[in-house]
Amino acid sequence: MKIAILSRNRKLYSTRKLIEAAERRGHTVSVIDVLRCYMNIVPHTPEIHYKGRHLEGFDAVIPRIGASVTFYGTAVVRQFEMMGVYTMNESVAITRSRDKLRALQLLARKGIGMPATGFAHAPDDTSDLIDLVGGAPLVVKLTEGTQGVGVVLCETGKAAESVIDAFRGLDAYFLVQEFIEEANGADIRCFVIGGKVVASMLRQAKPGEFRSNLHRGGSAHPVKITPEERSTAVRAAKILGLNVAGVDILRSRHGPVVMEVNSSPGLEGIEAATGVEVADLIIQFVEKNAKPGRTATRGG
């Protein structure tokens, strides 16, 4: 097969491992920077051009699109879909996952467990918003943040009011969420491929930190998940329409709760912690499913 990996940096661990896995299995791989693509949007014959040439003949696209380029990146993915090329994660699904509010609303509608959550921009009654999620301690997070950026733990009501007032002053949209204290600064990353959890790791925040992101100094090790946690991760990915996803779960008193569903989960942490060759499993999934016109939305 001829595979396009949409990535801005071919030296990144995840991109490099996908290239190696694909070439090891006999495929031809091109790494394409989405921001350097430009599109000819015409009826019946949509085209994508890159560095002065027309991109064509691809059997599959693997999107590795950073949060900061979601708008343009998903436009490029959508153009590939309109050309009939199979995309591992479709543009609509990526967009859903990147919009934290939309993702939570979709998951809530299907009964997926999650922390009590409020959404606001400029609330008239800050104390009532805080009460909606059970009061302090609570977490306030920007809807656009990634890797723990824009996430604040407020241990008192007064601290929560101050943070909310600050976000309101920035003219920002934000979420207010119940703080799952019993998780003890740990969460579980479930890596889902094709409706199956292929690897899972427990990420533990460093002392004095509540965010377990590995980018923030957290540690990780393999973990055995329960059937309920496995089912929750698979359902969450399916509800958002993602074939490949990293589903972040907290263990709470009332069962597993989903914090986030990532459409471009990193491979380095999960492979190092579990020893599972996740990149190879992704390529195997693409091999089985990449057929012309197989994309469900066709760019819709």
Average pLDDT, the chain: 89
Single pTM value for the model = 0.88
Domain that holds residue 31: 2-95
The reported pLDDT for the residue numbered 258 is: 95
For residue 254, what pLDDT is reported?
Answer: 86
299 pLDDT tier (thresholds 50, 70, 90): very low
pLDDT > 90 in the chain, percent = 67
User: Does 291 reside within a domain?
Assistant: no
- For residue 262, name the pLDDT band (cuts at 50, 70, 90): very high
Q: What is the rounded average pLDDT of the residues 255-274? A: 94
Mean pLDDT confidence for 199-214: 74
In a domain, 104, yes or no: no
Mean pLDDT of 75-99: 95
Q: What is the pLDDT of residues 151-178, one digit of tens each?
A: 888 989 899 989 888 888 888 788 899 9
> Based on the domain organization, do 174 and 186 belong to the same domain?
no
Q: Could you tell me the CATH number of the domain that includes residue 72?
A: 3.40.50.20
DSSP strands (E only) in the chain: 2-6, 28-32, 37-40, 47-50, 53-55, 60-63, 86-87, 117-120, 138-142, 151-154, 174-178, 186-193, 196-204, 219-222, 244-252, 255-262
Longest dimension (CA), the chain: 60
CATH number at residue 280: 3.30.470.20
Q: Count other C-beta atoms under 10 Å from residue 86's C-beta.
A: 22
